[in-house]
Homo-oligomer: A and B are copies of this chain.
Amino acid sequence: MPENRRPFDYLSPLDARYYGTDTELYAALHPYLSEDATLAYRIKVEQALIAELEASGLAPAGTSAQMAEAVRAVTAEEVYAEERRIRHDVRALVNCICARLPEDVRGCVHLFATSYDIVDTARAVQMRDFARHVLLPDLSALGVTMIGMARAQATTVQIGRTHGRHAEPITVGYWLANHIDRLGQRAEMVALTAGHLRGKFSGAVGAHNQLALQWPADPAEFERRVLQRLGLRPSDRAVATQIVQPEFLTDFGHALVSTLGVLANIADDFRHLMRSEIDELAQRTDRTQVGSSTMPHKVNPVNFENVKSLWKAFVPRMVTLYMDQISEHQRDLTNSASSRFFNELVAAVDYAARRLRAAIADTDINPQAIERNLRASSAWIIAEPLYIALALSGHTDPYETSRELIERAVGQSKSLAELVRTDPDARRLVDGLEPQHQAVILDPSIYVGDAAQRTHLVCEVWEERLEPARLGAALRRPGDHTLVA
């Protein structure tokens, strides 16, 4: 019998550090992702089976109720003890349930089922429930926080950066809007692929062999009814091996890992904007926080670094999921241990979303620095609109002309606007442009395209679509949709 132990007795940083010591995170994840939860979901599938057997007249009336009573008392401790004895995890669970049932109904428990009818089906329900009740709401909350910031900064002009170098201006809101839009689409992909997860109840080699003993005409009908009790469906043609076709989980994994990629990109942007020289964002601090163990003044973007670091830790695990697509013949078991680690991936993505949300909520914007950085490049910003304005005015070599003009200004340590005032050639060029183009060249901070309008559009769309109930809609109607048709 394993002892109760402190989180610090454990190995995994998820358990020992992030989950085991964070009361709120623990409470949120335990019902879905703990080993206890995995067992509980397997029990749920066994119950759905019994209920259907009872409905079919193959189990005595009342068996479901007896079973409901029995499973209430089953503990992981005794299941593991039984597994240690007989070395089979699902059979151990069945034995523990049976031990609490009258002899005459024991034969009904697990009847017609092979282990992976239970295991794979349970995982589908577990992941769908976690997505609906925890992950999607957490992604939604992150989106909402970002939307608030984007709305507030929709018109704050900021220099855009490509290759780390100043390019053309955008607004702070627009920078965020692009990330919100990507995040929103990923959240919908998570919902779609979670809602697309399937169960099975077709036996050891997937051909409904065992069900055909009882229902030779349409053995898959019983499978459909058991799964329906769990809000699930089998694969569209109800074909399988011992396990569910792996791609449903692979797609869900891809949704998770690519969501983590968006989170990491957001985190990277925030931490780079907190660089000392850029300083456009800063982490809000309080008196008790220690920045560095020897440099008391340093406030570091540790939360954003943490999100990026989780990405490093988890994105390669997608390769494991791709490896698990391959199973020899009607299955080998080489995906057993590896797929148990799937819960870690799901937990990590959720934790990253929560931590990123908190970190963004804790971020201050420094308008002075944003303004300063923008102004530092105002001369250069003009190059592009100048080039285009020249082209639109019919200039034959606008690119080279614009380039030469910029270089002349730089050579004289002047902004282009200043050059225009002193250099007749430059003046002549500018005078030949449309008035609204001249305006942009005089005030490059208006060269922001539709940044503000698009920001509001994006916010509006995702305020609606990131609403958890709406996100969860993909999950509500199991099987009414298909991913690929």
- Interface-lining segment among A34-42, A64-72, A141-149, A423-431: A34-42
Q: Does A30 contact B (CB under 8 A)?
A: yes
Known A-B contacts: A160-B206, A162-B329, A210-B449. Give 4 more (CB < 8 A). Answer: A11-B12, A170-B207, A272-B329, A277-B376
Would you mind naming 20 contact pairs between A and B with Cβ atoms under 8 Å apart? A11-B33, A17-B340, A161-B276, A162-B204, A162-B205, A164-B329, A165-B275, A168-B207, A174-B207, A178-B239, A182-B245, A204-B384, A213-B392, A216-B436, A268-B326, A269-B329, A275-B277, A297-B380, A308-B334, A316-B319
Given known contacts A17-B35, A212-B449, is B178 in contact with A206 (CB within 8 Å)? Answer: yes
Interface string of A446-457 (1 = CB under 8 A from B): 011111001001
Q: Does A371 contact B (CB under 8 A)?
A: no
**B335 and A312: CB pair below 8 A?**
yes
Question: Within the complex, what minimum Cβ distance (angstroms) separates A212 from chain B?
Answer: 4
Residue of B nearest to A275 (CB): B164
Report the interface size class on chain A.
Answer: 35 or more
A336: contacting residue among B306, B319, B332, B454, CB under 8 A: B306
Q: Does A152 contact B (CB under 8 A)?
A: no
A296: contacting residue among B165, B189, B265, B402, CB under 8 A: B402
Q: Which residues of B contact A400 (CB under 8 A)?
A: 296
Q: Does A228 contact B (CB under 8 A)?
A: no
Q: Does A397 contact B (CB under 8 A)?
A: yes
A395 to B106, CA, bound (A): 9
Q: Does A284 contact B (CB under 8 A)?
A: no
Q: Does A413 contact B (CB under 8 A)?
A: no
A298 to B299, CA, bound (A): 32
Q: Which residues of B contact A406 (CB under 8 A)?
A: 296-297
**A34 and B10: CB pair below 8 A?**
yes
A376 to B279, CA, bound (A): 12
A35: contacting residue among B16, B245, B331, B407, CB under 8 A: B16
Q: Which residues of B contact A485 (CB under 8 A)?
A: 188, 465
Residue of B nearest to A29 (CB): B11
A402 to B404, CA, bound (A): 52
**A337 and B91: CB pair below 8 A?**
no
**B312 and A334: CB pair below 8 A?**
yes
**A115 and B293: CB pair below 8 A?**
yes
Question: Within the complex, what minimum Cβ distance (angstroms) separates A18 from chain B?
Answer: 8
Q: List which A308-335 residues lie within 8 A (CB) of chain B.
A: 308-313, 315-320, 322-335
**B5 and A265: CB pair below 8 A?**
no
Q: Does A48 contact B (CB under 8 A)?
A: no
- Interface-lining segment among A120-128, A131-139, A251-259: A251-259
**B290 and A437: CB pair below 8 A?**
no
Q: Which residues of B contact A236 (CB under 8 A)?
A: 181, 185
Which 10 pairs between the two chains have the least Cβ-Cβ distance?
A296-B403, A160-B205, A12-B12, A261-B325, A16-B35, A207-B449, A163-B300, A88-B290, A188-B484, A13-B340
Interface string of A182-195 (1 = CB under 8 A from B): 10011011011000
Interface string of A388-417 (1 = CB under 8 A from B): 111110111111101100110010000000
A315 to B247, CA, bound (A): 15
Q: Which residues of B contact A484 (CB under 8 A)?
A: 185, 188-189, 191-192
Residue of B nearest to A399 (CB): B296
A312 to B321, CA, bound (A): 9
